[in-house]
Amino acid sequence: MLRKKKFLFYLMAISFILTIWALPSNANYYDGKTITILMGGNAGSGLDLNCRFFVEHWEKKFPGKTKLIVKNMPGAGGAKALNYLYEKGRPDGMVIYYGIWNPMGIVTGQPGLRYKIAELKSVGAANGYFVSLVRSDVSATPADIITAEGLKVGGINPTLGMDNVSQMSLDMLGTKFRYVSGYRGMPKVKVALLSGEVNFATTGYAGYRNFFKDTSIKSGKLIMPWHHPSFDKDGNPIKSNVFPGVKPFVEVYEELKGEKPSGPLFEAYKYVTNLNFKMINNVIAPPKIPAEALADLRKTFKATYEDSNFQEDWEKRYGVRFLWIDGETGQKLFADHKQISPEAVEVLKKYKMKGIR
């Protein structure tokens, strides 16, 4: 009788365990905890607005009571925050990053980039859309830019992608210009453009929509000569209607020059648009984050951008849906960031050293 009772007890225990295993797991590493998100840009910038809007939706995807707070840590195009995350970030995953990274600076050996991007963990990312702007009193059409006099290109940092494509596109056309860097964010570039301190710049979609679309572009004070899309696997620009009526730079170049762009300068241009612009809105975790924490971050990040309500809210706010990638895809792009020819690297080095010219 005793043996029978023991047998029934063990049978019930095994059955209970199997039942628990079979239940769907809603376990959350972050339940009851607060995640600090280092925003690698200035408060009020286009990227900062993107971050805060996404985080508002992302927080709702964590089971239990998880709180997300955003802390701005601008500096060196995101490098200040990424260096901190890489060197001092808590390994428990309670501090993560939102912002850009600098593949151009990494492959050219830019001082101050102490983080190893392949060791950091991609949670996921979204692409960016970029368009160039020029004052209409300097150029009324893209063709006018080739012979424009006194062209001054405003920028933030000579290793930032949008500063690079501003200069690269003009150099491919053979336009003479002076590059002035050091503006602290797109709001400052806007002031410089409208005052005439500079007369050409490139901005991301958030900057375009928040600072230019319904004001200086609508009034005709600024025009958009071309935009800078990423390229598909066959080398063709990925078409979009984000900037209505505005052609990609490669098409403008072909119309003006009668041939397609080529050579190391064009390879460097494609490197920037393909790698940097595909991963503008990055969420990045520290190198030694626990696997369970990284899995929860990636799962909830993906659930956020796949949510139809989020997509509708994002489009309502920004007028366009971004292209999002998951953490596994982002990690592969991190690993492949050095796939660029030595000749194209030399091109990037020249732009890195310009600053003010």
Contacts with 169 (C-beta within 8 Å, 6 or more apart), sequence order: 132, 226, 228, 249, 253, 269
> Residue 51 corresponds to which tokens in the numbers above?
């971050």
Q: Provide the pLDDT confidence category of residue 355 given band limits of 50, 70 and 90.
A: low
Same domain, 68 and 122: yes
Angle between helices 308-318 and 46-58 in degrees, nearest 10 = 160
* 185 and 215 fall within a common domain: yes
Same domain, residue pair 199 and 348: yes
- Same structural domain for residues 348 and 206? yes
Q: Structural domain tally of the chain?
A: 2
Residues near 192 by Cβ (< 8 Å), separated by ≥ 6? 154, 180, 183, 198, 201
Residue 328: burial class (beta carbons within 10 Å; 0-12, 13-18, 19+): exposed
**Other Cβ atoms within 10 Å of 178 Cβ, number:** 13
| Secondary structure class of 234 (helix, strand, coil) | coil
The per-residue pLDDT for range 199-253, each reduced to its tens digit, is 999 999 888 988 999 999 999 999 999 999 998 888 889 888 899 999 999 999 9
φ and ψ at 121, to 5 degrees? -110, 120
pLDDT of residue 7 exceeding 50: no
Identify whether residues 156 and 74 lie together within a single domain. Answer: no
CB atoms within 10 A of CB 257: 13
Lowest mean pLDDT among 30-39, 64-73, 314-323: 314-323
Residues 113-168: tens digit of each pLDDT = 999 999 999 999 998 899 999 999 999 999 999 999 999 999 988 878 899 999 99
Helices (H), 110-213: 142-146, 161-173, 186-195, 205-207
How far is it, in rounded angstroms, from Cα 75 to Cα 208? 22
Range of the domain at 314: 34-127+276-338
45 in Cβ contact with 208 (< 8 Å): no
3-state secondary structure 56-77: HHHHHHCCCCCEEEEEECCCHH
Structural domain includes residue 15: no
